[in-house]
Structure 1
């Protein structure tokens, strides 16, 4: 007998059929009616569990799908899901998830009505693997379809620090993945039939997940796209928009690529920028005020033992001192921020760019090195 037939809830079906037969033939006592109601709920729950394996076959294992990894399979690539990587385990439970879904979608769940077509309830997948036992599953039934909220108090991937160090070049994103210790996801459990159904599902998933966002969110991951981005509250609008997947089009912040101090190509690039600095100064001094908005330099900024190289829109050059507006969001530095007015001396100079007469740019000596390192 096929496994699908073996798992059918025969016992609940037989008991329910017997009670219904008794009801129509001779009626039921009060206790018989109670038994009928309980059995009906039991049968409804079991039939949903029986239907779940078709949905669950697409779900990846404990680690699900590693961000940027290549070890996954076709099942995880077809998973319609978005995942928050968290800095601490979520306290989400049935009541809080129901509230989040209700607020996100404007749906009211009649918790006192067991026959309601909309509900949020905990469930245990019939094919649950041993190493997935730490994942709490909540079924969300709404008019648009069947979804699941999964809550885990363990990292999404095994040994996230080791994985991040070996696979993620961007220091910002690498740090976010390294630090996560738990995760929460919203998955589509219904089969997606076409592109519009898939996009509609992501809209609902994005809105539900956005309602669960908090200061513990470090990154957001899409198993289907195999893309991961740092989380920022500014992403909420996109997450609740018409196409939440647009948030993976570009990095949330400017990537931070680490280069060894003794990297020969980078050393040559910086040396050329320093040697040709007078060329930048001359072009800046003869440019108009509008043209000067496109004169930018990259310099090292330090706080204690920490340092970062960031771009500055130049306002003034006075001797060996440069003043301007910081163009980057610092990764670790706390005393400066994007848009801050900053001043540095030429011993911190790293690179520069200004517009050429033909519309091209002049400078940017370190960019090719960083681009090559980012692709490796």
Structure 2
């Protein structure tokens, strides 16, 4: 990544980066106007274009509240795609899909202050620079990667960028090999014991709002992901309910979509039983236990 910065900035020597990086699905061109407007919205006051120096196309230098910053756009991936896969599938998908990056970097701080103190302000700028092609944000100085979503952006706008980068703001998806013996045994147990779930669901009294949920596979092309469904009705052949997750690959579905699941396709289930949950056969495996 340091090589990326040297290619982009062309400096002979530079301090360790303090940077927030937007991973973009398509490369972007940033004008002086784009940068000035984003800073104006971020700091809540007019920031004229005359205070943004465009040293070369899509590379801008500016000073905000005494912090010397650059805002730059690069037409090539920032994170190497040949690295070991990220354990979280949504984040790996962002790495795989990004083809460009927008960097907000702090090079110098006012006397007596640390450059990392600019992270909150930089986060507010990032929140104003993201667009529909923005996939994720990487914080160089903490080495954290997080998906662009409204929860993350809300925290950025509040000046809580460091906290946001340490927070899981989305529903994680963990990868498990399809032939994993432990997972196959957990699925088999869930299916064998499905009558327990069906009986408990049928016996719950009217007005009982305890969550009864099941997990099932949803495929698209070569991809298959197992997602939780809040059960609303059960027959001998299927269960009907609403998705509790946003799919990564199945673009025709979203969180809240109503779905039918054949009983023979169920891979896990759970419901509250006293102080614990019945079921949850695969969770320890998914969580790496």
Q: CA RMSD in A?
A: 2.5
Within the alignment, does 1:353 sit opposite 2:273 as a pair? no
The 2-side partners of 1:85 and 1:278 are apart by: 46
TM-score w.r.t. length of structure 1:
0.68
SS at match of 1:297: strand
Deviations 1:6-47 (A, max 9, x none): xxxxxxxxxxxxxxxxxxxxxxxxxxxxxxxxxxxxxxxxxx
Asked if structure 1 preserves the Cα contact closer than 8 Å seen for 2:66 and 2:109, the reply is no
1:231 and 2:148 correspond? yes
Aligned to 2:192: 275
Cα gap change, 1:332/1:190 in structure 2, threshold over 3 Å: closer, same or farther? Answer: same
The answer to which structure has the higher helix fraction is 1
Secondary structure of the corresponding residue to residue 293 of structure 1? coil
Tell me how far 1:205 sits from its aligned partner: 0.6
Paired with 2:217 and 2:235, the residues of 1 have a C-alpha distance of 18
Alpha-carbon distance, 1:145 to partner:
2.6
* CA spacing shift, 1:202–1:304, aligned 2, 3 Å: closer
Cα deviation for residue 231 of structure 1 reads 1.5
Supply the distance in 2 between the matched residues of 1:339 and 1:92 (Cα, whole angstroms): 36
Cα distance in structure 1, aligned partners of 2:47 and 2:180: 59
Please, which runs of 5 or more residues in structure 1 have no aligned partner?
Answer: 1-59, 65-74, 112-118, 125-134
1:168 maps to which residue?
Answer: 86
Change (3 A) 1:110 1:138: closer
Structure 2 counterpart of 1:120:
52
Which of 275, 279, 283 aligns to 1:363? It is: 279
> How far, CA to CA, are the matches of 2:206 and 2:225 in structure 1?
29
1:210 maps onto 2:127 in alignment: yes
With structure 2 as the length reference, what TM-score do the two structures score?
0.86
Q: Determine which of 103, 108, 127 is the counterpart of 2:41.
A: 103
Counterpart for residue 191 of structure 1: 109
Kindly state the Cα deviation for residue 291 of structure 1 after the two structures are TM-superposed: 4.0
Change (3 A) 1:268 1:223: same
* Greater relative contact order, per chain length (Cα 8 Å cut-off, separation 6+): 2
- Identify the residue that residue 177 of structure 2 maps to in structure 1: 260
Please say if residues 301 and 348 of structure 1, whose CA atoms lie closer than 8 Å, have aligned partners that are also in contact.
no
Equivalent residues in 2 for 1:1-376 (5 A)? Answer: 61-63=2-4, 76=16, 79-105=17-43, 106-109=45-48, 111=50, 119-123=51-55, 137-157=59-79, 160-163=80-83, 166-191=84-109, 193=112, 198-199=116-117, 201-303=118-220, 305-357=222-274, 359-372=275-288
Q: CA deviation at 1:369?
A: 0.7
Structure 2 unaligned regions, length at least 5: 6-14
SS of equivalent to 1:161: coil
Q: How many residues align?
A: 279
Rg (Cα) greater in structure: 1
Distance 1:319 1:155, change over 3 A: same
Once residues 62 and 301 of structure 1 are traced to their aligned partners in structure 2, the CA distance between those partners, rounded to angstroms, is: 40
Partners of 1:284 and 1:292 within 8 A in 2? no
1:307 CA displacement: 2.8
Report SS of the residue matched to 2:229. strand
Q: Distance in 2 between matches of 1:347 and 1:148?
A: 56
Instruction: Report the CA distance between 1:290 and its aligned residue.
Output: 4.7
- 1:316 Cα deviation after fit: 1.2
Give the Cα separation in 2 of the matches to 1:260 and 1:143: 50
